Amino acid sequence: MLPKERILEKTFTLFHKQGYNATGINQIIEEAKVAKASFYQHFKSKEDLCVAFLNKRHDFWFNELRNFTSNKADLNSKILASFDFLIFMNEKENFRGCSFLNILSEIPSDNKKILDVIQSHKSDLRQYFRDILPDEQTADHVYLLFESCIIESQLFKSNELIEQSKKIIQTLILK
């Protein structure tokens, strides 16, 4: 694996598990087994590395979501499977939550470069539900439930509210 790929692979794990602020560049360099000069050849700063990480995480996360829901034909099943995907990810990643929201809580509010990537990810997620559901208002309700499920399940280390949200969604969609 090339140095840039090793750096991103380690960052993918460390930022997601430890967080942005708790992960130092020296730790990444050491664990990726690259020279400091090699690191800076690929990334000018930790901020640039974070942007690359978030872009990689975005691609990974949406690919997983689409794979998880692709075999569902009707919109009700597809939406419910999206929430089942949250349960799957919580179990897979030990309720670590959303990397984007985790990093948002760690960066200064004026960090436009990272904020733009986070906002883009959330806009894409909102659009994902709008592409599935014909009614924009209902799609936004589902999006907001989905987002709150991410936070609540991380906070309480439980999928209970995801299951409750699936019941709420059935009343929204079938109304």
Domain architecture of the chain: domains with CATH? 1-43 (1.10.10.60), 45-173 (1.10.357.10)
**C-alpha angle 57-58-60 in degrees, rounded to nearest 5:** 60
Span 14-43, average pLDDT: 95
Span 3-23, average pLDDT: 94
For residue 109, what is the DSSP state? T
What is residue 16's predicted lDDT score, i.e. its pLDDT?
84
What percent of the chain lies above the pLDDT cut of 90? Answer: 91
d(CA 87, CA 105): 23
Residue 172 confidence (pLDDT) above 90: no
Span 62-90, average pLDDT: 95
Span 37-63, average pLDDT: 97
d(CA 111, CA 106): 10
Question: What is the four-CA torsion angle of 170, 157, 148, 23, rounded to 10 degrees?
Answer: -140
